[in-house]
Structure 1
Amino acid sequence: MRAIILSAILATVSPGWVLAHTLPTPQAVDAEVRQAMTRTGARGLAIAVINDGKVAYVQAYGVRNAQGEPLTVDTVMYGASLTKTVFGYLVMQQVDKGKMALDTSIADYLPQPLPAYHTPDIVNRYADWSALDERWRKLTPRILLNHGSGFSNFGFLEPDEKLKFHFDPGTRYAYSGDGLITLQFVMETGLSVDVGQAADAVFLKLGMKRTSLIWRADFATNLADGWDENGKVEPHDERSKVRAAGSMDTTISDFSKFAAAYVRGDGLTPAGRAELVRPQLPITTRSQFPSLQAELPVDQRRKDLAAGLGVVVFDGPQGRGFMKGGHNDTTANTWVCIEKSKRCVVILSNDVRSEKAFAGLVTLVLGDTGVPYDWEYGFTPVQ
């Protein structure tokens, strides 16, 4: 285990800067995490704190498997939908290089119309395009990244297990992992950008030695299995394909480096970095899931909540912030940042039961942020 003491970072704060919230001591973080794990029954959790764009604290708690081996800051954990933040960053790098434009139709990047591709991945994912008219041509990188595609989350959730348009692209928000996977296909097929290799280049530059968008055999030496809502342990899934929607394996030590670089804007132009966390598309539903739920009446919609590019943007007591979660039956992750102070908290957990404690942990570290937990989870977690 290792911890980087917060007090040393606090000493670097510029004179006259008014902190919205006093950062807790490492001891206070440790105590709150252990209490949260006791309350929820969670077996493993890792946390990182970023202050002023620098990694200030990294720690892991509990165990990584049923054998009771300890979860450490270098244990490989499933990143789940935090992968989407990395993918958004990779797309913006292509935009900064002039290889892609956010508002150009994907039709302009593909050598053939999308319906003409007959690889198993495409044929099995999409519905009969003749029933979809030409709306696929309205899809742009921006629309696919801000979840305005019109698709369900994944095609396999459809009655016939194939994607179809539920609304005109760009007209509303509905979370869609397959929307991002469509953009990945466009990048790899139309621009010859290998998304996995592009991610590896970023990870190498940032010193993220145990992170990848595809399974690596060396991860097995220190790997986290997961616990579900009923306390049943499940083995780590060795993902054999790069999937922009959620194939990343990472460690809390590694992802804290990405979070710090992201909030600083490393590797991007100032304009590109700003675009990632700019409100792109209003979010008009009561909760994030189910993704295709009806929109709220206009007078009930939140004005402080919108989609960015691979993240969700919110406004709160400390100003603009952004967040992204990651979840499956045995995984619970969250990443929350406040733009003005460049402060973030990252939580990775290999036990989905820990999710109920996230609000309290984020509030301990960042104070009152305005994070829309009720929208994110469909319930208000214990503070």
Structure 2
Amino acid sequence: MKNPLDSAALDAAIEIVHRAGMPGLFAEVRDGNQVWRGAAGVADVATGRPVTADMRHRVGSITKTFTAAAVLQQVESGHIGLDTPIGRYLPKLVPGERGDAITVRMLMNHTSGLAEYLPYAYPSLKAYPALADTGPQSLDDHRLTRFDPTELIEMGVTAPAVGAPGGTPGVYSNTNYLLLVQLLEQATGITAERYITRNVIERAGLRDTELPAGPHVNGPHSQLYEAWFGMIDPPRDYSVYDMSWVGPSASLISTVSDLNRFYGMLLAGKIVSPSSLAQMQRTVPVVSQEGKTIDYGLGLHPMEGPGQDTFWGHGGTVWGGGALAMTRADGTRQMAVAVNMQRWNRLDSFGKPQPHPIDDALATLYRVAMYG
């Protein structure tokens, strides 16, 4: 059964997330021609400036869907082979036997076995995800650091492997998508930012979406508050941050309206071909950065709820901010939600994140948004 938009229920659900402890959040839900936009809480805890539903926001790894779509366009044009070893394209970055064994597809669905470079780039996070031993010091140290992507890739490639190439479950790793960025640049002869902007962002008609060059968010936006599992108290604003630590694998700035438009067009076969979309929706088990096993395709993952409706999209986090965008497989129902605080769960004595009222409140908001 399809449920029409219930504005009152959505208004109540978003307000409950704010009351549970989220400084501010905003969302857009679409059902056919019906559109609900809502916001609750503040964009700036110091001034009390409210959040609004049209704010621009760092959306983290939602960027990976954009990057994957760009790579698949190049697969369609014959410049990249989905099952070609990455060593044929980037022998210096992934040398030897691993370069021969790891394919482009394995990078896209996180089954390459390549480790995450993040704990090596951010020394105080060395124990991540063994969280009790980490600290937020590196977040401040690298606020304006300009990282070289090939150096980050080298950290991930030289770190101990987290699995055999093609083995499952895969392990989610930003190293994979930084390699895809390098591959895209080699195949197109221009920067990945420029290619994605021209062929994905502009093709989808997105007006408030960009891969920024500098550390600032242009236009109306919220501050972004990082709590780092209660170790930063009160949470600190990281809205000004050099995003070269993830580059075009997680640095996108967008709006909830633009995200819904993008995923609607992607699932309608208007960004990549229907056969490429089918490849994106072929999933394998992958262990997420939170340690949960999820189904993951090529820059897309499904969410299933009551009634067996499958939604496709991606989530993302940056220091202080996060977003989730999901669209029903038939394109009729869509949700995009943005929050301005991250890692609100405190840790127990074993270093495991404890449940927080925000978790349940967000789960309820997602359920009301997707299923009514």
What TM-score range do you get, normalising by the shorter chain? 0.7 to 0.9
Q: Secondary structure at the match of 2:264?
A: helix
Query: Does 2:39 correspond to 1:60?
Result: yes
Q: Secondary structure at the match of 1:185?
A: helix
Q: Deviation at 1:55? A: 7.3
Q: Secondary structure at the match of 2:35?
A: strand
| Distance in 1 of aligned mates of 2:34 and 2:69 | 19
In structure 2, the residue matched to 1:15 is none
Q: Deviation at 1:248? A: 0.8
| Distance in 1 of aligned mates of 2:38 and 2:24 | 11
Q: Deviation at 1:103? A: 0.7
Question: How big is each residue's C-alpha offset from its partner over 1:223-257, in whole Å with a ceiling of 9 and x where there is no partner?
Answer: 22112334424131343547132111112232222
**Do the aligned partners of residues 290 and 205 (structure 1) sit closer, same or farther apart at CA in structure 2, a change above 3 Å counting?**
closer
Q: Secondary structure at the match of 1:207?
A: coil
Alignment equivalent of 1:324, drawn from 307, 310, 314: 314
In structure 1, the residue matched to 2:298 is 309
**Do the aligned partners of residues 60 and 256 (structure 1) sit closer, same or farther apart at CA in structure 2, a change above 3 Å counting?**
farther
Q: Structure 2: which 5+ runs fail to align?
A: 121-125, 128-153, 228-232, 345-357
| Distance in 1 of aligned mates of 2:114 and 2:97 | 14
In structure 2, the residue matched to 1:197 is 194
Partner letter of residue 183 of structure 1? Answer: L
Partner letter of residue 151 of structure 1? Answer: L
TM-score when normalising by structure 1 = 0.73
| Distance in 1 of aligned mates of 2:303 and 2:258 | 25
Alignment of 1:94-243 (within 5 A): 94-110=74-90, 113-115=91-93, 133-154=96-117, 156-157=119-120, 162-163=156-157, 164=159, 165-172=161-168, 173-201=170-198, 202-215=200-213, 219-229=217-227, 230-239=233-242, 241=244, 243=247
Q: Which moved more, 1:97-106 or 1:77-86?
A: 97-106
Q: Deviation at 1:137? A: 2.1
Question: How big is each residue's C-alpha offset from its partner over 1:298-323, in whole Å with a ceiling of 9 and x where there is no partner?
Answer: xxxx8xx5220112235553243334
Q: Deviation at 1:95? A: 1.8
| Distance in 2 of aligned mates of 1:161 and 1:219 | 28
Partner letter of residue 261 of structure 1? Answer: M
TM-score when normalising by structure 2 = 0.75
**Do the aligned partners of residues 162 and 24 (structure 1) sit closer, same or farther apart at CA in structure 2, a change above 3 Å counting?**
closer
**Do the aligned partners of residues 170 and 55 (structure 1) sit closer, same or farther apart at CA in structure 2, a change above 3 Å counting?**
farther
**Do the aligned partners of residues 37 and 314 (structure 1) sit closer, same or farther apart at CA in structure 2, a change above 3 Å counting?**
closer
How big is the alpha-carbon RMSD for the aligned residues of Structure 1 and Structure 2?
Answer: 2.9
User: Higher relative CO (CA 8 A, sep ≥ 6), structure 1 or 2?
Assistant: 2
In structure 1, the residue matched to 2:340 is 350
| Distance in 2 of aligned mates of 1:161 and 1:357 | 37
Question: How big is each residue's C-alpha offset from its partner over 1:15-43, in whole Å with a ceiling of 9 and x where there is no partner?
Answer: xxxxx3413322221121112211x2112
Partner letter of residue 5 of structure 2? Answer: P
Alignment of 1:286-297 (within 5 A): 288-289=288-289
Q: Secondary structure at the match of 2:325?
A: strand
Alignment equivalent of 2:67, drawn from 87, 91, 100: 87
Partner letter of residue 323 of structure 2? Answer: N
| Contact 1:135-1:169 within 8 A present in 2 as well | yes
| Distance in 1 of aligned mates of 2:313 and 2:54 | 23
| Distance in 2 of aligned mates of 1:255 and 1:308 | 18
Q: Secondary structure at the match of 2:185?
A: helix
| Distance in 2 of aligned mates of 1:218 and 1:306 | 33
In structure 2, the residue matched to 1:244 is 248
| Distance in 1 of aligned mates of 2:2 and 2:234 | 35
Question: How big is each residue's C-alpha offset from its partner over 1:239-294, in whole Å with a ceiling of 9 and x where there is no partner?
Answer: 35471321111122322221222232212211112221222x234x5xx2356x9x
In structure 1, the residue matched to 2:285 is 282
**Do the aligned partners of residues 222 and 318 (structure 1) sit closer, same or farther apart at CA in structure 2, a change above 3 Å counting?**
same
Q: Secondary structure at the match of 1:348?
A: strand
| Contact 1:322-1:337 within 8 A present in 2 as well | yes
Query: Does 2:254 correspond to 1:273?
Result: no
Partner letter of residue 80 of structure 1? Answer: G
**Do the aligned partners of residues 60 and 313 (structure 1) sit closer, same or farther apart at CA in structure 2, a change above 3 Å counting?**
same
| Distance in 1 of aligned mates of 2:4 and 2:55 | 26
Partner letter of residue 195 of structure 1? Answer: A
**Do the aligned partners of residues 70 and 179 (structure 1) sit closer, same or farther apart at CA in structure 2, a change above 3 Å counting?**
same
